[in-house]
Amino acid sequence: QSALTQPPSASGSPGQSVTISCTGTSSDVGGYKYVSWYQHHPGKAPKLIIYEVNKRPSGVPDRFSGSKSGNTASLTVSGLQAEDEADYYCSSHAVTINAYVIFGGGTKLTVL
């Protein structure tokens, strides 16, 4: 069960849009709708920002959006703001012999 594949880094200027990919297999991302994204500022608890591929919890700005195609999920942050600078992790429900949850390696988003 290797981690889902994310680019280690991404960047954009304020106001721009950035998309972060998360690639898995048919046993995880490609096989289920339970893909989530988390924003993690160092020293704080991670925060859920997208669940079930493209749903936003209450209070999360609509600048954050999610999608999935095949075995790859994506997080798009539109209208970048300074406070969006953080680490972003995807996760997915996964099943091989048993069910479990698998995370991506994380992407450091830098707002230039």
CA distances from 105 to 16, 57, 61, 89 (A): 24, 23, 24, 7
Applying the rule CB under 8 A, the residues between 43 and 82 that interact with other proteins are 44-48, 51-52, 57
Number of residues that make up the chain: 112
**CB 75 to other proteins: min, Å:** 14
Distance CA 50, CA 92 (A): 12
Q: Taken in order 85, 62, 104, 20, is the CA torsion positive or negative?
A: negative
Applying the rule CB under 8 A, the residues between 13 and 32 that interact with other proteins are 32
Selected range binding other proteins among 13-21, 64-72, 75-83, 104-112, rule: CB under 8 A: 104-112
Binding site for other proteins (CB under 8 A): 1, 3, 32, 34, 36, 38, 40, 44-48, 51-52, 57, 89, 91-93, 96-106
